[in-house]
């Protein structure tokens, strides 16, 4: 095992897929669950403001202002096939999944090392935030319905591509720092994707790449970022002299 990575920060910001949780679970369990329900959602809840807004965003991304429900569903399915993290896809998935979690159809997944470490960091006064392409609604349901019970009390802030912006742009990380009231240099981002780590670092954050065998980005690696194979390899504390904005 490598030496622990040691950070004195006020908050840790967590990516979900590939970092706290298995991409395979998301793709094999959550994606089919949403795919089989898009048609009904578009047909039966076309007046729901969240659905209306997402459909408008799909049409805009397609450049097809008149796309009907069949065309919109086809686009959603194609984005799912290619794991495109399009905001309206994530919004509609979030609506479907949050209802699936509430009904007890779905239970989320966390790697074994994650929950004990999150509890330890939270107990030590480290603030925990989530920044995922999954929508805030999906994140809330994901943390509330874990195999270890409701983990939402551990989490202070939830950020997605709608309220923060794309994960590969430094401006999104600046927005999160501003919204959370934590100075950039007091934030640590954990993610499996090098482009996201680059963007966080460009915004002045600390960043650690999480590399788990079997994950899509494992072979590619995380460039010149510090890396860990599990959360156990990362030590986080909050010094009393830490400056927050
Ligand atoms: C509970 S979020 C579901 C996972 C998901 O749809 C997703 O796109 C996660 O992407 P991430 O940014 O966490 O890698
Ligand atoms: Mg990820």
Q: Write down the mean pLDDT value for the chain.
A: 95
If one looks up domain 26-103 in CATH, what number appears?
1.10.720.60
pTM above 0.80, yes or no: yes
CA-nearest residue for atom 2, ligand 1, is 134
State whether CATH 3.30.360.10 applies to domain 5-21+108-237: no
User: Contact, 89 vs 57, CB < 8 A?
Assistant: no
Q: What atom in ligand 1 is closest to the CA of residue 193? A: 14
Query: To test the ligand 1 pocket, which listed residue (13, 15, 16) has its Cβ within 8 A of the most ligand atoms?
Result: 16
Domain with CATH 3.40.50.1000 in the chain: 5-21+108-237
First to last CA, the chain: 36
- Which phi and psi angles does 92 have, rounded to 5°? -70, -40
Which tokens go with 112?
Answer: 């074994």
In tens, the pLDDT along 61-85 reads: 999 999 999 999 999 999 999 999 9
In tens, the pLDDT along 202-238 reads: 999 999 999 999 999 999 999 999 999 999 999 999 9
Whether residue 172 has pLDDT greater than 60? yes
Helix (H, G, I), strand (E, B) or coil at 14: strand
Ligand 1 lined by 23 (C-beta under 6 Å):
no
Q: CA-to-CA distance for 196 and 239, rounded, in angstroms?
A: 26
In tens, the pLDDT along 128-140 reads: 999 999 999 999 9
Q: CA-to-CA distance for 96 and 34, rounded, in angstroms?
A: 6
Which tokens go with 81?
Answer: 């096939």
Ligand 1 lined by 26 (C-beta under 6 Å):
yes
Question: What pLDDT score does 170 carry?
Answer: 98
Q: Is residue 150 very low, low, confident or very high in pLDDT (cuts 50, 70, 90)?
A: very high
Ligand 1 lined by 134 (C-beta under 6 Å):
yes
Of 73, 206, 187, 192, residue with least CA distance to 133 = 192
Mean pLDDT confidence for 13-26: 98
Question: What pLDDT score does 245 carry?
Answer: 36
Ligand 1 lined by 215 (C-beta under 6 Å):
no
Domain with CATH 1.10.720.60 in the chain: 26-103
Mean pLDDT confidence for 32-44: 98
Question: What pLDDT score does 4 carry?
Answer: 77
């Amino acid at each position: 095992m490598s030496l622990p990575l040691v950070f004195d920060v006020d908050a840790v910001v967590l990516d979900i897929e590939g970092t706290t949780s298995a991409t395979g679970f998301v793709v094999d369990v959550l994606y089919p669950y949403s795919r089989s329900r898009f048609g009904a959602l578009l047909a039966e809840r076309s007046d729901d403001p969240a659905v209306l807004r997402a459909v408008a965003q799909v049409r805009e991304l397609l450049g097809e202002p008149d796309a009907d429900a069949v065309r919109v569903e086809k686009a959603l399915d194609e984005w799912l096939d290619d794991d495109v993290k399009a905001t309206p896809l994530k919004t509609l998935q979030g609506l479907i999944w949050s209802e699936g979690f509430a009904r007890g159809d779905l239970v989320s997944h966390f790697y074994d090392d994650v929950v004990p470490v999150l509890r330890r960091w939270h107990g030590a006064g480290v603030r925990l935030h989530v920044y995922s392409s999954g929508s805030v609604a999906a994140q809330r349901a994901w943390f509330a319905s874990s195999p270890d019970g409701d983990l939402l009390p551990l989490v202070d802030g939830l950020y997605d591509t709608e309220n923060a912006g794309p994960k590969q742009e430094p401006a999104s990380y600046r927005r999160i720092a501003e919204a959370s009231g934590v100075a950039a240099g007091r934030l640590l981002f954990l993610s499996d994707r090098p482009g996201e780590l680059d963007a966080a670092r460009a915004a002045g954050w600390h960043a650690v790449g999480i590399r788990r065998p079997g994950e899509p980005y494992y072979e590619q690696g995380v460039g010149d970022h510090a890396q860990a194979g599990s959360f156990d390899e990362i030590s986080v504390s909050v010094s009393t002299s830490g400056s927050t904005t």
